Chain A
Amino acid sequence: AQTVTQSQPEMSVQEAETVTLSCTYDTSENNYYLFWYKQPPSRQMILVIRQEAYKQQNATENRFSVNFQKAAKSFSLKISDSQLGDTAMYFCAFMTRGAQKLVFGQGTRLTINP
């Protein structure tokens, strides 16, 4: 069975700082997808970034980037120039290609302080 582990229940940084959220996963599959979702207090899960396991290049979306280490089964999220609006729960998620269901980590509560 696949599992996703987020070892940081809570993090807090100052506005404009850079923060990295950790995620590790366990799978015997070779083809899979990894995601970071953001859940603000409104409860809406918002896709932040995704990574296909077959791609060696790390995904980047504006201030958000990932460090994907396939051999180590690690998928961390880096947020640069953090903003107050980045305050939210962040979930790392995994999906085997073709499995169609996401397996989520327990989440990291990120607070950006002014």
Chain B
Amino acid sequence: GAGVSQSPSNKVTEKGKDVELRCDPISGHTALYWYRQSLGQGLEFLIYFQGNSAPDKSGLPSDRFSAERTGGSVSTLTIQRTQQEDSAVYLCASSSGGSYVRETQYFGPGTRLLVL
């Protein structure tokens, strides 16, 4: 079946503007994750959604970052008032609810964000 998809593939924005990044998980996957990959910080966890439970937001770097997941499927990561240090690749992953494979996360191709 189809894998995790993300849009846009690339995004260039000006400092101070808001951006929205979208993630479509694998159909039937109940868990969804956002990570950020930057040169200085490597790969960092941002936020995790599991079904209808409250999301784990412990990795969000500031209150300019937020994410939602509508209908238990598509997720949007929003960055308000973007700063140059927000430039990075934003990766989305999903995993299924099966007891054996639940812990394996499958990644999308990422969105490369450049803040000028």
Q: Using a CB–CB distance below 8 Å, which chain A residues touch chain B?
A: 33, 35, 37, 42-47, 50, 91, 95, 97, 100-107
Contact = CB atoms under 8 A, between A and B. Distances in A.
Contacts of B109: 42-44
A100 B106 CA distance: 13
Interface of B: 31, 33, 35, 42-43, 45, 48, 50, 56, 59, 89, 91, 93, 103-110, 112
A33 B107 CA distance: 17
Which residue among A91, A101, A102, A105 has the maximum number of chain B CB atoms within 10 Å of its CB?
A101
Given A100-B48, A104-B43, A107-B42, A45 B56 contact: no
Nearest to A106: B42
B104 A45 contact: no
The binding surface of chain B is classed by DSSP as strand
Contacts, number: 48
6 contacts: A35-B104, A47-B106, A100-B48, A101-B45, A102-B33, A103-B45
B50 A100 contact: yes
Contact of A101 (B42, B59, B89, B108): B59
A50 B56 contact: no
A15 to B, nearest CB: 27
Contacts of B105: 47, 102
A95 B42 contact: no
